[in-house]
Amino acid sequence: MTSIDNTAKPDAWFKIEQGVFKAGGRWTIAESARLDQQLRNLDAGPGEAITMDAGAVEKLDSTGAWLLLRTRKALENAGRTVGTLKVPERYASLLANLDHDDKKRRPPPAPRMSPWRYRLYRIGKATVEAGRQGWRMLGYLGRVTVETGEMIAAPRKNLRFAAMAVQVEETGISALPIVGLLAFLIGIVLAYQGADQLKRFGAEIFTINLLGVGVLREIGGLITAIIVAGRSGSAFTAHLGSMRVNQEIDAMQTMGLNTVDTLVLPRVIGLVISLPLLTFYANIMALIGGAMMCYFDLGITIPVFLRQLNQAVDVSTLMVGLVKAPVFAFVIALVGCYEGFQVERNAASVGQLTTRSVVESVFLVIVLDAAFSVMFSVLGV
Amino acid sequence: MVMEADKTGQAKKDVIIHVEDLVTGFGSKIIHDHLNLDVYRGEVLGLVGGSGSGKSVLLRTIIGLNAPRQGTIEVFGKRTGYAEGSRMRSLEVRWGVLFQEGALFSSQTVAENIQVPLREYTSMSQELMDEIAAMKIALVGLPPDTAQKLPSELSGGMKKRAGLARALALDPELLFLDEPTSGLDPISANQFDELIGELQESLGLTVFMVTHDLDSLAAITDRIAVLVDKKIKTGTIEELRKDTTPWIHEYFSGPRGHAALAGSH
């Protein structure tokens, strides 16, 4: 580590002789760490009056000057009467500049709490904040819903198809490789684990049932939604957040542009279009992965696989999975946009809110998925 | 001002920044074409020039943020621009830089910002660093409670003062200021000028200042460097007023120039 500390040849010195504090050498920042320690343990000796003579100082900077002033203060606080503090003429203005009333500049002490109380305080604060956050998000959900409804009921002529198409491309088409690869791998894993267990009963063929129902009803949709929340939800927050930092959103508002209309709806609608399509694609890829595993691991040929799959699932199984996708999409886009608008004008804020946006949307997707399961079981689907 | 008389009285010509034959550019665009400039110890040099003339680029090149294509830059007699690692470090602790918006670290309080260089380059105790931070905060004229505030809680002018406090943390000999008064109201701008003048005088600083502000130029600079046609012309205000180069003439003789110069006399 580079250091400017002058440890090789200490140069600044001070001593107390017959009621005179004498200092000399180079009183600069390079010597300050050492001087600081020594001055704190200063033994001023007997007597009451003391004078300070720093006339022999060759070089003085603001740190050194401040150490001199602090020493004077410390001596005064110890009950000594300090006469003048003498420094070379050229440093008189520096000293005068720093020699203000010390009381005014001392920062107020930070409020202190006992550790337990502080923990309690933090839990309470986080709880209240979570409640408020939920309340605000509900308000935002209401606003976006109303505006979406209005737009569907009476499509405005300035509906932003181009912006929407861009969002479909960004969130849908660009996500095809990653979603496809992950779904394919999930299909392999699921088929392998299923086959491994079911082999013991000689019921290998039911691996296909497990795979078909599992992927189509649950896994396909869930995996896709989580990937998209991490990929597009975060992008929404970061993009809108940067626009806020840059005052672009303020500019839009002053031009009378409705930010929900121009920024939120294209993203919400774009994602509501692309997520179900992505989910369907992920389902297919997962089934292909599973079919491959069945072929290599269990020796089930493709025609046999398809026949069994045909018996195991029907269109309603697929629909149960797909019907959730638009809801997930709506929530992901809503949270992403909402958090983007919460960004404050500093660099750390964008990062914090992007993290929060992803955590919240993944959380909500899983909660909603559970709610759907309960609902479907009640409905007997 | 007092210090001007002081400076012209003394004939010390100790070169702190020496720029010779500098060429910089981006792509096919040449920004500085064989430019020369000397800055002397203890002076306040103002750098002016039209928008896009490369003032900030010159500043960034001198402090090593931008690589020159050709030429020599020496600060404190050592070459920068090509310097790396510890050699550059040894220069960096001797200068302080105030960026346009203050460039404070947004996740740290003002006191922590000031302590960053102290922590990195000295072995001061935390207690002393706290005291030094409070001292610097008072030195730049900020109220004491600023120490615990985050940059986002400060106004533009306060950010600049806090940035200045951080630039002064290591008691540098040389101070670079990038448009220190831009974006400030005239009263704050005047106060900032006065502050820089005061600090320059009491700390014995050399100041290299990029500015657009004619009032600052008239108030605190000893010499002015004008960046025009990719080269530099230096002189005092009086000398430059007699210059016949169209841009310089326009600059000092336009309505704003007149007002600022009239005010300073």
Residue ranges of domains in chain B, CATH in brackets: 41-65+94-264 (3.40.50.300)
- Residue A104 has a pLDDT of 52
3-class secondary structure per residue, chain A: CCCCCCCCCCCCEEEEECCEEEEEEEECHHHHHHHHHHHHCCCCCCCCEEEEEEEEEEEECHHHHHHHHHHHHHHHHCCCEEEEEECCHHHHHHHHHHCCCHHHHCCCCCCCCCHHHHHHHHHHHHHHHHHHHHHHHHHHHHHHHHHHHHHHHCCCCCCCHHHHHHHHHHHCHHHHHHHHHHHHHHHHHHHHHHHHHHHHHCCHHHHHHHHHHHHHHHHHHHHHHHHHHHHHHHHHHHHHHHHHHCCHHHHHHHCCCCHHHHHHHHHHHHHHHHHHHHHHHHHHHHHHHHHHHHHHHHCCCHHHHHHHHHHHCCHHHHHHHHCHHHHHHHHHHHHHHHHHHHCCCCHHHHHHHHHHHHHHHHHHHHHHHHHHHHHHHHHCC
Main-chain phi, psi angles of A113, to 5 degrees: -135, 155
A288 with A166, same domain: the answer is: yes
Among A374, A285, A371, A380, which Cα is nearest to A327's?
A371
A94 in contact with B at a CB cutoff of 8 Å?
Answer: yes
Q: Which of B90, B202, B205 to mutate to test the interface with A (most CBs of A within 10 A)?
A: B202
**C-beta of residue B31 within 8 angstroms of C-beta of residue B24:** yes
Strands (E) across B76-216 are located at 78-79, 95-98, 174-178, 206-210
Q: Please indicate, yes or no, whether residues A199 and A54 belong to a single structural domain of this protein.
A: no
Residue to test with chain A: of B121, B125, B128, most A Cβ within 10 A: B128
- Is A207 in the same domain as A332? yes
Q: Are residues A256 and A178 in the same domain?
A: yes
Select from A63, A94, A106 the Cβ nearest to the Cβ of B134: A106
Picking from A36, A94, A100 by the largest number of B CB atoms within 10 A of its own CB, the best residue to mutate is A36
Structural domain includes residue A316: yes
Residue A326 falls inside a structural domain: yes
Q: Report the alpha-carbon distance of residue A104 to residue A98 in Å, rounded.
A: 13
Instruction: Look at residue A58 and tell me whether its pLDDT is greater than 80.
Output: yes
Burial (CB < 10 A; 0-12, 13-18, 19+), residue A257, is middle
Rounded mean pLDDT, B216-231: 85
Q: Do A72 and A137 have their domain in common?
A: no
A 10 A CB-CB count for A43 gives: 5
Chains A & B: contacts with CB separation below 8 Å: 89
| Residue A125 within any structural domain of the chain | yes
Give the structural domain span for A130: 115-155
Tokens at residue A225, please? Answer: 């939604």
Helix (H) / strand (E) containing B49: strand B44-49
User: Contact, B208 vs B62, CB < 8 A?
Assistant: yes
Q: Is A187 inside any structural domain?
A: yes
Average pLDDT estimate for A294-311: 92
B219 compared with A228, residue with greater pLDDT: A228
Q: Render pLDDT for B115-133 as a digit per residue (tens, 0 to 9).
A: 988 888 888 888 888 888 9
Q: Please give the average per-residue pLDDT across A65-82, as a whole number.
A: 83
Q: Give the residue-averaged pLDDT of A131-156.
A: 84
The answer to whether B144 contacts A29, with C-beta atoms less than 8 Å apart, is no
pLDDT at residue B82 tops 50:
yes
Q: pLDDT category, A51, cuts 50, 70, 90?
A: confident
Whether A110 is in a domain gets the answer no
DSSP B151: G
Residues A185 and A332 grouped into a single domain: yes
Q: Is residue A2 part of a domain?
A: no
Per-residue model confidence as pLDDT tens digits over A2-32: 677 776 777 888 888 777 888 888 888 888 8
Amino acid at B163: G
Instruction: Check whether residue A164 and residue A71 sit in a common domain.
Output: no
| Cα distance between residue A280 and residue A278, in whole Å | 5
| pLDDT at position A153 | 79
Judged by CB atoms closer than 8 Å, whether chains meet at A2 and B202 is answered as: no
* Claim to verify: residue A119 and residue A66 sit in the same structural domain: no
Measured in angstroms, the CA of A47 and the nearest CA of chain B are apart by 28
Average pLDDT over all residues of chain A: 87
Average pLDDT over residues B10-27: 80
CA A87 to centroid of chain Cα atoms = 52
Mean pLDDT of B126-151: 88
Would you state the pLDDT for residue A183? 96
Residue A257 and residue A120 share a domain: no
CATH of the domain at A80: 3.30.750.24
Q: Please, which residues have CB within 8 angstroms of residue B195's CB and are 6 or more apart in sequence? A: B140, B141, B161, B164
Number of domains observed in the structure of chain A: 3
Among A233-237, B75-79, B126-130, B205-209, name the one with the lowest average pLDDT.
Answer: B75-79
Residue A156 has pLDDT above 70, yes or no: no
Task: Provide mean pLDDT across the span A310-328.
Answer: 93
Q: Which of A105, A139, A170 is the last residue of a domain?
A: A105
pLDDT of residue B7: 45
Report residue A189's pLDDT band, with 50, 70 and 90 as the boundaries: very high
Tens-digit pLDDT profile for residues A162-187? 888 999 999 999 999 999 999 999 99
Min Cα distance B264 → chain A (Å) is 24
Cβ-nearest to A5 among B122, B132, B151: B122
Q: Does some domain include residue A298? A: yes
Task: Give me the residues paired with residue A50 across strands.
Answer: A82
* Chain B residues inside the 8 Å CB shell of A96: 202
Kindly state the average pLDDT of the residues A234-253.
90
Please tell me whether residues A71 and A178 are part of one structural domain. Answer: no
A3 lies in a domain? no
Q: Which of B43, B198, B140, B138 is nearest to A93 (CA)?
A: B198
Does the interface predicted TM-score (ipTM) exceed 0.90?
no
pLDDT at A278: 96
Which of A106-120, A129-143, A210-224 shows the lowest mean pLDDT across its residues?
A106-120
Q: Give the pLDDT band of residue A229 (cuts 50, 70, 90).
A: very high
What pLDDT was estimated at residue A250? 86
Q: Do A105 and B131 touch (CB under 8 A)?
A: no
With contacts defined as CB-CB under 8 Å, which chain B residues touch A98? Answer: 135, 138-139
In this prediction the pTM is: 0.68
Question: Are A179 and A246 within one domain?
Answer: yes
Residue B29 three-state SS: strand
A286 in the same domain as A264? yes
Chain B residues in contact with A57 (beta carbon < 8 A): none
Structure tokens given for A344 = 């404050």
